[in-house]
Amino acid sequence: MNWIHQPWPWYVAGPLIGLSVPLLLLAGNKALGISSSLRHICAACFPGKIPFFHYDWKKESWNLFFVGGIVLGAALCLLFFYNPEPVKLNPDTVRALQAQGVQEFDELLPGDIFNWGRLLSPVGLIFFVVGGFLVGFGTRYAGGCTSGHSIMGLSTLQWPSLVATVCFMAGGFLMTNVILPPLMQWLLL
C-alpha cells in the first residue's frame, strides 16, 4: 500500500488523465475543463441579468460535481494518503531558484516567496492580485484553461486549442526565462 502514498510517475499519471477524455465523451459528450466551473457557479449564485452569466447553467451542472470530486479527492488524499516525507525538488530547479536569490525551501514551496509576511506586504499583494487577475483574464481570453485546451481540445483535434496550447507554452517559457528573473529580484528586496 506504500505506492499510493508516493507521487506517481508521469507514465502512469499522464495516461490516467488522458483517459478522462474518452470517458467524458462517452458519458454524454462532456468536455474536460475547470475554468468554466467558475462561470457556472456565478450563474447559479448571481441570477442577475449579466449577459455572460445568463444561460442555462443547469445543463452544465455535471461540471460542478466534477470540481466537487476534485475537492473531495484532495481532502481524502490529505486525510488518508498523506505522505509525511518531504517532496524532493529537482536539484536543477533548486539551483535555478538559488541563482535568483531564493535560499529557503519549505517542502515544495520556496519559503522566501510563499509566506504570510511576503504575501501581506505591498509587493506581495501586487504580485498575487495582479497575477491572479492575469491568470483569470488569460483563461477567459483564451476561452479556457490549460486542462481544457491542452488535454481535451488537443485530443479532439481542435485548432483553437492547438493555438492556445502553443501560446501557453510560449508564455511559460517567456515568463520563466525573461520576465521572472527581474521580478524575483524586485520581490526578494
Say how many C-beta atoms besides its own lie within 10 A of residue 169's C-beta.
Answer: 12
pLDDT at 86: 72
What does the domain layout of the chain look like in residue ranges?
A: 1-85
Q: How confident is the model at residue 143 (pLDDT cuts 50, 70, 90)?
A: confident
The pLDDT tens digits for 2-31 are 777 777 888 998 898 888 888 888 988 888
The C-alpha atoms of residue 37 and residue 149 are separated, in whole angstroms, by 15
Say how many C-beta atoms besides its own lie within 10 A of residue 171's C-beta.
Answer: 12
The C-alpha atoms of residue 178 and residue 80 are separated, in whole angstroms, by 41
Q: Which distant-in-sequence residues (6+ apart) come within 8 Å of 124 by Cβ?
A: 118, 187
The pLDDT tens digits for 61-116 are 888 888 899 899 999 988 888 777 777 778 888 888 888 878 777 666 777 777 78
Map residue 109 onto helix, strand or coil.
strand
Strand partners, 149: none
